[in-house]
Amino acid sequence: MDLIIQGIIKAFELIISFDPEVLGITWLSLKISGTATLISLFIGVSIGTAVALNNFYGKRLVISLINTGMSLPPVVVGLFVIILIWRNGPFGFLEILYTPTAIIIAQAIIATPIVMGISLAAIQSLPPNLRLQILSLGASRSQMVWILIKEARLPLLAAVMAGFGGVISEVGASIMVGGNIKGYSRVLTTATVMETGKGNFDIAIALGIILLILAFIINAVLTQVQQRRNIQ
């Protein structure tokens, strides 16, 4: 219990004092996870919507693969990414191993199936005749897709929150492909693991609390946007 209290006190000390190292780690965590979420949003919503709106052979298999990807183990993602970008790997020439870029790639792969699966379910949950009604009013197919996405914006915002939550708290892939290098690729989760391994539990708890506060702030903002229509 004393460790938890010390960790809480340490967290407030680090926040109030604007510790430069903690601020740097926090900003990098937000930048990496935010970028990965935006990438996953673009890919996930596009593919999820396309699968939902089109009928083709093997569609159920594709949906099953997407749903399976929603529970993709981060360490498995980290393993395959590190194999691909290793210096002797097919993308080794890019020299991005142990860089923030590598973490963004790994986190985007983790978040994309989550966003894709929720987007797919959101579009499929819309009334079946809505598409026909929109097209009958003279809308083009691209306009119809955009209107459907707007109609499903509440669950799509939930997809954003789920994707961001999945990667901001991820540690396995980040530490594998990022290397946890101080001042360069160290994020809140990997720093927490490192401090725990060193026995600095107060600092580890403090970093964990800062991570929770950061996740809460981001999700609170997105929730306000999501629920604004219902409140009005």
Write out the chain's pLDDT in tens, 232 residues: 676 777 777 777 777 777 788 889 989 999 999 999 999 999 999 999 999 988 889 999 999 999 999 988 999 999 999 999 998 889 989 999 999 999 999 999 999 999 999 999 999 888 878 877 888 888 888 888 888 888 888 888 888 889 998 899 899 899 999 988 888 999 999 998 988 888 877 778 888 888 888 889 888 888 887 676 555 5
- CATH classification of the domain holding 219: 1.10.3720.10
Q: Is 23 exposed, middle or buried (0-12, 13-18, 19+ CB in 10 A)?
A: middle
Alpha-carbon span 167 to 205, nearest angstrom = 19
Residue 217 within a domain: yes
Number of domains in the chain: 1
pLDDT of residue 156: 87
Residue 22 within a domain: yes
Residue 104 within a domain: yes
Residue 116 within a domain: yes
- The residue written with tokens 């459907």 in the block is 148
Alpha-carbon span 187 to 32, nearest angstrom = 9
Q: Domain limits at 100?
A: 2-227
Residue 232 within a domain: no
Phi, psi of 99 (to 5 degrees): -130, 160
Residue 29 within a domain: yes
